[in-house]
Structure 1
C-alpha cells in the first residue's frame, strides 16, 4: 500500500566548534528529513506482505501459547535475549559473564550495566503496555531507566531532545550523515502523533508495531538511546494488542544478524515503501519465534541434565537449587540461601558441589559478593541469537 514519504527541508547550520574535517568546518546548511503525520493513516497488508504478516502472527501466538504459559522462566530469558541483542546493535556487548555480574548486583563493566539498563527499560515499557495505553510518559520513563547508568547521558534522560541530531557521518556535524531527523521544535508534535498511532486498535498488529518503530527511529526523539527504545516499542505494542501476554519476541537478534539490511529497510520506509519494512519485521518475528521455541525445548531439558551431573540427594539444598535455576540462573549467596532455607555452611557446600559438578560457574569470587551462574542457561542466550541469525541469513540466499 502507498505510504507518504518523508519530505526534505533545508535548514541553516552554524558550526559551534572548529573540530572535524574541512567539510565540518564549512558546513552552513543541512537537509532534514521530516516524517509524515501517521495517526490517522489507514494501512492494510496485501499480497506477500499479508502472507508474511499472517504467518508471523501465527508464529508469535504459537510461541506464547506453547511456552509462555507452561514454562514461566522463558519469559525472563527472552526479555534478556531481546535487550542484549538490541544493545549489540548499538555496539554494546559485555559478554554474558559480565552481564551476569551486573544482574546479580556485582561489580560490572559499563557495558554490562548498560545492557542491564536496557532490560529494565524493556520491562517497564512492556509492563506499562500490558496495563493501559502507551503514552509519551511510558517512553520517557523507559528512556530514563535506559540512560541512568551513565552520568553524562543521564542528564538528558527522560526528556525529548532540544538539539539537532543525526545518524552516521561525522561526530561533529551532520556532514555526510545517512539520516538527519526533523529539527527539535517538531519533535513534540510528531511524538504526539506517533503515540496516537501506537494506541489504535484497527491496524494489523505486527504491521502497526513495525510502522511505529520505523516512525520512531525516523523522529529520533532522544539525544541517545533511540534504537533500544524504538525496538522495545515493538514489544510494547505486541503486548498492548494482546498478541503476547508473557513472552517477548526476540526480534533484535534478527536485526543484529544483518544490521545493514535493517537500516536499508528503515530507509525504504522513509521513501514510502512501508510494506517492505512490515514484511521484514514479520519475517523477523517468524524466525525469532521459531528459534525461541527451540530454546524453550533446550531449557526445559536442562534440569534433568543437571540432576544427572550433580546426583543430588532428595530434598537436599542441591536439589532445591537445581529446581530453581531456570527461574534464577544468576545467584549471589544471599539469594541462594533464601532459596535453600538452610544454614550458611549448608548453602555454601551445596553451591560448591554444584560448581564442581559443572552445574554452576563462579562469575565473581569476591568474598563480599560471590556470584554464581548456570552457564548452560546463559550460553543459550548466545545460542538463541545465533539460531535467529542463521535463519535470517538463510532467507538472503
Structure 2
C-alpha cells in the first residue's frame, strides 16, 4: 500500500561541547527525517498482510477469552514480561531476582528500579487507554513514571524534548546516526497529529497499533525513554480499541529476539513501506500469543504441582500461601502475614517449609525486608521470553 515516506531536510548543527572525534567537533550540518502527518491517512491491508492481520486478531482474542478471563494472575504476569523485555531492548537487564526485590520493595539495583518503572509506565498507559482516548497528558505521565527513578533523567521526565536527539552513532553528535528525528520545534505538532490517528476507530486495530508505534519512534518526542513508551503505546492502542481487556500481548519479546530486524522494519517504515511493519507486528503477535497460551497453561497447573510437593495441612498457613502464589508470586513478610492471617511465627514457619521444598526462593536475606518469590513463576517468566524468541527466529 502506498504510504508517504519521511522527507529529509538539512539543518545547521552547532556542537555544544568539545568532546568526541575531530569529525564530531567539526560537524556543522545534519540531515533530519521528518515524518508525514498521518492523522487523516487510511490503511487497508490486502493479500498476505491482511491474512496475517486477521490471524493475529484471532490469536489475541483467543488469548484474552481463553485465559485472560479465567486466569486472573496472567494479566500481571504478561504485563511484567512485556515491560522487562522492553527494557532489555534498551540494554537494561537486572535479572528476574533483582527485579523481584524491587517489586516487593526490597533494596534494588538501579536497573531493577528502572525495569519496575517500565511496569508502572505501561500500567499507566494501558489504564488510560481503557478509560477512553489517549491524550498527551497520558503520554507525559507515563514518561514521568518511567524516568522518575533517576535524578538526571527525571529532569526531563514528563516533558516533550526541546533539543535535537538522534539514534545510534556518536555519543556527542548525530554523526553516523541511524536515525535523526525531526527538530524539536516540530515535535508538539507531530505528536498531536499522531494522537488524532491513535484515537480513531475506523482503522484495522493491529495495523493502527503498528503504525502508531513506528510513527512515535520516528518522532522520538522525549530525550530518553522513547522505545519503552513507544512499545507501551502498542498495548494502549489494543486496549483502547477493546481487543484486549486484561492481557498484555508480549510483543517486546518478539522485538528483543532479533533487534536488528525490528530496527530494520522501523527504517523501512520511514521509507514508506508500511505493509512490512504491519506484517512484522502481526506475525509477531501470533508468536507471542501462542507462547503466552503455553505459559498460561503451565501457570494454571502450578497450584496442583505445589500441593503435590508441599502436601500442606488443610487450613494451614502453608496452604493459604500456596493458594495465593499465582496472584502474588513475589512478596515480603508483611504481605505473607496478611495473606495467612496468622501470627508472624506461623507465617515464618510456613515460609521456611515452602522454601525448603523449593517452591519459594529467598531473594533477599536482609533482616529488615526479606523477599520471597515463587521459583516456578520466575522460571516461567524467563521461559516465556525464550519461547517467543524461538518462535520468532525459527529453528537454528
- Measured in 2, the distance between the counterparts of 1:371 and 1:234 equals 32
1:313 partnered with 2:313: yes
Q: Look up the match of 1:160.
A: 160
SS at match of 2:88: helix
Q: How does 1:17-32 map to 2 (within 5 A)?
A: 17-32=17-32
- Measured in 2, the distance between the counterparts of 1:18 and 1:154 equals 25
- Measured in 1, the distance between the counterparts of 2:26 and 2:48 equals 47
- CA offset at residue 67 of structure 1? 0.2
- Measured in 2, the distance between the counterparts of 1:289 and 1:232 equals 17
Q: Look up the match of 1:290.
A: 290
- CA offset at residue 379 of structure 1? 1.1
* 1:333-383, Cα deviation, whole Å (9 max, x unpaired): 000000000011000001001001111010001111111000110111110
SS at match of 1:30: strand
1:50 partnered with 2:35: no
- CA offset at residue 200 of structure 1? 0.2
- CA offset at residue 16 of structure 1? 1.2
- Measured in 2, the distance between the counterparts of 1:173 and 1:255 equals 27
* 1:233-253, Cα deviation, whole Å (9 max, x unpaired): 000000000000000000000
Q: Look up the match of 2:233.
A: 233
- Measured in 2, the distance between the counterparts of 1:93 and 1:315 equals 39
Q: Look up the match of 1:90.
A: 90
SS at match of 1:18: coil
Q: Look up the match of 2:143.
A: 143
Q: Look up the match of 2:73.
A: 73
Q: Look up the match of 2:394.
A: 394
Q: Look up the match of 1:384.
A: 384
Q: How does 1:1-397 map to 2 (within 5 A)?
A: 1-394=1-394
- Measured in 2, the distance between the counterparts of 1:291 and 1:183 equals 40
- Measured in 2, the distance between the counterparts of 1:42 and 1:265 equals 20
- CA offset at residue 17 of structure 1? 1.3
Calculate the TM-score normalised by the size of structure 1: 0.99
SS at match of 1:86: helix
SS at match of 2:10: strand
- Measured in 2, the distance between the counterparts of 1:370 and 1:42 equals 54
- CA offset at residue 313 of structure 1? 0.3
Q: Which runs of 5+ in 2 are unaligned?
A: none
Q: Which runs of 5+ in 1 are unaligned?
A: none
- Measured in 2, the distance between the counterparts of 1:198 and 1:116 equals 26
- Measured in 2, the distance between the counterparts of 1:105 and 1:197 equals 38
Calculate the TM-score normalised by the size of structure 2: 0.99
- Measured in 1, the distance between the counterparts of 2:303 and 2:231 equals 32
- Measured in 1, the distance between the counterparts of 2:107 and 2:147 equals 18
How many residues align structurally? Answer: 396
- Measured in 2, the distance between the counterparts of 1:297 and 1:92 equals 29
SS at match of 2:161: coil
- Measured in 2, the distance between the counterparts of 1:370 and 1:35 equals 50
- CA offset at residue 312 of structure 1? 0.4
* 1:196-230, Cα deviation, whole Å (9 max, x unpaired): 00000000000000000000000000000000000
- Measured in 1, the distance between the counterparts of 2:124 and 2:285 equals 21
SS at match of 1:223: coil
- Measured in 2, the distance between the counterparts of 1:266 and 1:48 equals 20
Moved over 3 A (4+): none
